[in-house]
Chain A
Amino acid sequence: MNPNYLDFEQPIAELEAKIEQLKRVGNDQQLDIAEEVARLEEKCRKLIRKIYADLSPWQVVQVARHPLRPHASDYLQRVFEEFDELHGDRQFGDDPAIVAGLARLDGRPVAVIGEEKGRGIQERLRRNFGMPRPEGYRKARRILALAERFRLPVLTLIDTPGAYPGMDAEERGISEAIAGNLALMSRLKTPIICTVIGEGSSGGALAIGVGDRVNMLQYATYFVISPEGCANIIWKTVEKAPEAARAMGVTSEVLAELGIVDETIPEPLGGAHRDPAAMAETLKARLVAQVEELVAIPLDELLERRFARLSSYGN
């Protein structure tokens, strides 16, 4: 079992291993295997298409948490130019679970705030697995205020298993940190575009998720409680997470129907992790277009629309 592939991706892993092996043999013995390789590669594409055409909600959650899925830092490099990271909340500390700063998007200056899970054990620990503490959200708040002052559009990249449920987070007022961001973002005098790139879990995701546009990558997921948490409460076992995922409607498809998500951004065949460059290119094109649209709207109207939108949730 290849740990870089999900369980339902294992047939892909096997086929790809076979192709690799064939290529190696061919190179060593200088055989002409091009035709066979091409045939297998076509077979592989078909297999991926077939598997990904019919993912269950729970499988989508797994793709959203895929070990190779691009993170906020990857998009900061690939989608934006000249990213300058800015640190600290000016009150307590700097939270590596949130990456924020100034950048350019197709030349235009913007502010970017992203949740970063980290890759590799060391980095994941340092980033607290993408679970922000109050200082992370307060750093975000500071960058939001900065963006408002200098009229920079704000782009947020959501990817978190949730706000950190620890003692220190409670002591420093995690509830207020989240609530304050919701309030500020609801009236911030500059366009805000939020994109769920991986896992959008609960208040910890929403704390950088209020804006004029809410995008989801095709295989991203967004929920009020993790399917495991929901299953634990209702069925008293995490084994029922697939049922919980279905019941809650955690995919962009369902959330677009509910009017919560505006746009689903398509992923490359087999998910963003199979072609991060192509994913970044698609995402960039959509973000550039959305920023253009939003900056053209008079600010008063933009804020009215944002408020009306927030008021309409659930209607």
Chain B
Amino acid sequence: MSWLNRIRRGPSQSARARAAAVPEGLWRKCPGCATPLYRPELEKNQDVCPKCGHHLRIGARRRLDLFLDPEGREELFADVEPRDRLRFKDQRKYKDRLLEAQRKTGEKDALVAMRGRLCGLPVVVTAFEFEFLGGSMGYAVGEKFARAASLCREERIPLVNFSASGGARMQEALISLMQMAKTAAHVERLQAAGVPYVSVLTDPTFGGVSASLAMLGDLILAEPGARAGFAGPNIIEQTIRQKLPEGFQRAEFLLEHGAIDGIVDRRQMRQVIARLLAKLTGAPPLAEAT
């Protein structure tokens, strides 16, 4: 997975040459500074490079595992499955692409939902699986997020979402576009009920996901270096016919332009969000989160 991501991001020639020399498995090269990292060490550090602080992409399950308290986790709405209402077919059938993505990731679709505790506080957390068709949002993602938000409203439990998505899922055409309206409507209801919703942007968050549930948090946080925006950098470069400046659409850029509340290191994410949620819900200070 990580190896693929490195390829997609197009590391430098020298980095690529060095990558070839690193045995796959025990060692992994940092996509940020190209330092070879000892995998068990890296994992202990929550997949953040101990040398340069680069936040490596992680999957939905790992994300939930790092974020929630170990006890009392329960997966939600695992029965929600993707649908192919249009019987979409290009060179391959959408149905086959889905089966392949399911085999590759072990997930039914690109969003995993779980309830559990965060430093003792009850929360519902949803996390995007970018390896599942680029974390794209179709019916199943929209539906699962909507159900999670409904549950949170009914039981007055805060909702936290970690986004990682290329946007709407093309193969579900307008049904996927309408998931933007659906998820936005559910966030709006949740907020009207006074239940907090925290949105965390992780690398990358674009298109229809960015322009709906991800940018609607009561609080919007981002991991360091995460890229997020509406139009992808390639599209913008084609439109304006010039190169984008370094750091465009990264978390630091978003913070500077007032789009997000803060940048939070993955290793502090639990504590920061727990503290914020405790204040929003009127809970006393949390021993674990100070």
Contact = CB atoms under 8 A, between A and B. Distances in A.
A307 interface: yes
B238 to A, nearest CB: 8
Nearest to A210: B181
Contacts of A173: 215, 257-259
Decide if the interface of chain A is mainly helix, strand, loop or mixed: helix
Given A183-B216, A224-B208, A206 B180 contact: yes
Nearest to B258: A173
6 contacts: A173-B258, A179-B215, A182-B212, A233-B170, A235-B90, A250-B173
B174 A170 contact: no
A112 interface: no
Interface string B131-169: 000000011001100100000000000000000000010
Given A165-B230, A173-B258, A175-B230, A224 B236 contact: no
B74 to A, nearest CB: 23
Contacts, number: 176
Nearest to A174: B230
A230 B170 contact: yes
Interface of B: 83, 85-86, 88-91, 138-139, 142-143, 146, 168, 170, 172-182, 184-189, 192, 207-208, 210-216, 228-231, 235-236, 239-240, 244, 248-249, 257-259
B185 A310 contact: yes
A170 B175 contact: no
Contact of B231 (A170, A172, A186, A223): A170
A258 B259 contact: no
Interface in A171-193: 171-176, 178-180, 182-187
B188 A183 contact: yes
A314 B172 contact: yes
A182 to B, nearest CB: 4
Interface of A: 163-167, 169-176, 178-180, 182-187, 202-203, 206-207, 209-210, 222-225, 230, 233-235, 243-244, 247-250, 254-255, 258, 260, 307, 310-311, 313-315
Contact of A170 (B86, B90, B207, B249): B249
Top 8 A-B pairs, shortest CB-CB distance: A165-B231, A314-B139, A186-B185, A182-B184, A313-B178, A178-B211, A248-B173, A183-B188
Nearest to A173: B259
Contacts of A260: 174-175, 178
B188 A187 contact: yes
Contact of B239 (A165, A235, A247, A313): A165
Contact of A307 (B139, B179, B185): B185
